[in-house]
Amino acid sequence: MAEKVIMPKQGLQITEGTITKWLVAEGEKVIEGEPLFEMETDKLTIEIMSPASGTLLKILREEGEVVPVIETIAIIGVPGEDISELIDAEHDEDGVKQDIDKIPENKTNDPLDRGTSEDKEVERPGRIFITLRAKKLAERAELDISGISGTGPNGLIIERDVKEFLNNADKRKYTPVAKKMANEYGVDLPDTDAEFKGRIYKEHVQRAIAISHDDKAPGRGSEIVPITRMRKVISERMMQSLHGMAQANHRIKVDVSEILKMREKLKADGVEVSINSILVKAVSKALLEFPIMNSSLIDEGILIKNYVNMGVAVAVPDGLIVPVIKDADLLSLVEINDTLKELIDKARTGAIEPDDCSGGTFTITNLGMFDIDEFTAIINPPESGILAVGKIDKTPVAVGEKIELRPIMVLSLTYDHRIIVGAPAAQFLQRVKGIISNPYLML
């Protein structure tokens, strides 16, 4: 019997995912538990295993499509098996409504009407109701759905309504987004450049902009690189962070001579730990002493967390992942090092799970390995602080009456000034410095 393949729900807050690559082609055999496709969520890209063995009879959602969780994306079965009912059932899901708290009463109790285009249009005061397929089609066409009349029950906009709107849209030569972009860049596109219903979309304008730039620089072309879902989400969250928080910054120089000596002693005993692991341990200890730094602002007030889930930023090809060391304050230095190493390996090999990146209470980001002296990091919401770590650099410092070269690291603390005022933030940073200067305090 044929079996549906659904878009899996990877975490409580994940509502949709992007199919980045099918690892098996239609008609090929699949084995239960082996990789079937790759999906990208807000935070990461992961391989999804096949739920059954058999043949991949039909792919219903193509690469690049954004699909809501638990929606069917493919069908696995036996070659020659009739799967028409399953496919028809998926098409019938055009009646699924999106973003509806309460469905208006349908007085006739009839199923979703799929009749002719002569159906009566219903006025929809206030909120707009639209089916999933209609919404996707409208988004691809860059349409403002408020201008579309719905012929479904109680004014519900269905796919046919969007198609008819597009069929009658020849006089609207530019989509709103394309028109705005064309005006901003001074691009003039003939109607024949459009590939769909004589309309011009933002992609056409983007190509024209690239061609215009190429003309100005003969022999040196340019290209428009599509924004990945991860990059888009990072962009949105960083803007949300900057616009939604009063971010302030303190910096402090730290002599790391003692932690370097401690690393050497541990190494001599056969134990290797990274600088980041030591920082996680030191910051975790300081957070317990300054709980306001380990908080979030919620509607009811300030949420103080009496545990430390430490996020550590990891660079990956498509952007940035922040795996989280759960209960870092309860772990030994060696346990932190082992956990961090495992999470970094998973992040860089694409094996990381959504749960590995959730629940963080504070974040550390280190660019010292890239020869960066110091930098300001942006807070990862809903956290209230992030510590940016620069490189270790031998610097002349006054030691008593002498000048000595000491390994110095700059720590930069960004904090949410809505929750934390300057003095406690400075004291916290000073405490981190004190622990690093005397690392045996953390053991």
β-strand partners of 3: 76
CA 149, distance to chain mean position in Å, is: 34
Give buried/exposed letters for 201-237 (b at 16+ CB in 10 A, else e): bbebbbebbeeeeeeeeeeeeeeeeeebbbeebbeeb
> Which residue's structure tokens are 């060696």?
334
Catalytic residue check, 417: yes
- The full DSSP string for 218-275 is TT-----PPPPHHHHHHHHHHHHHHHHS-EEEEEEEEE-HHHHHHHHHHHHTT----H
User: Looking at 91, 204, 250, 417, which residue is catalytic?
Assistant: 417
**CA dihedral of 298, 303, 307, 312, whole degrees rounded to 10:** 40
CA 407, distance to chain mean position in Å, is: 36
CA atoms within 13 A on the CB side of 314: 25
- The CA distance from 34 to 54, in Å, is 12
**Six token digits for residue 114:** 């799929």
CB atoms under 10 Å from CB of 28, counted, come to: 10
Question: Per DSSP, which regions of 45-123 are E strands?
Answer: 45-49, 54-59, 66-68, 72-77
Give buried/exposed letters for 302-327 (b at 16+ CB in 10 A, else e): eeebeebbbbbbbebebbbbbbbbbe
Sign of CA dihedral 330, 332, 335, 337: positive
Asked if 33 and 49 touch (Cβ cutoff 8 Å), the reply is yes
**CA dihedral of 251, 253, 258, 262, whole degrees rounded to 10:** 40
Asked if 336 and 277 touch (Cβ cutoff 8 Å), the reply is yes
- AA letter at 20: T
Known catalytic residues? 417
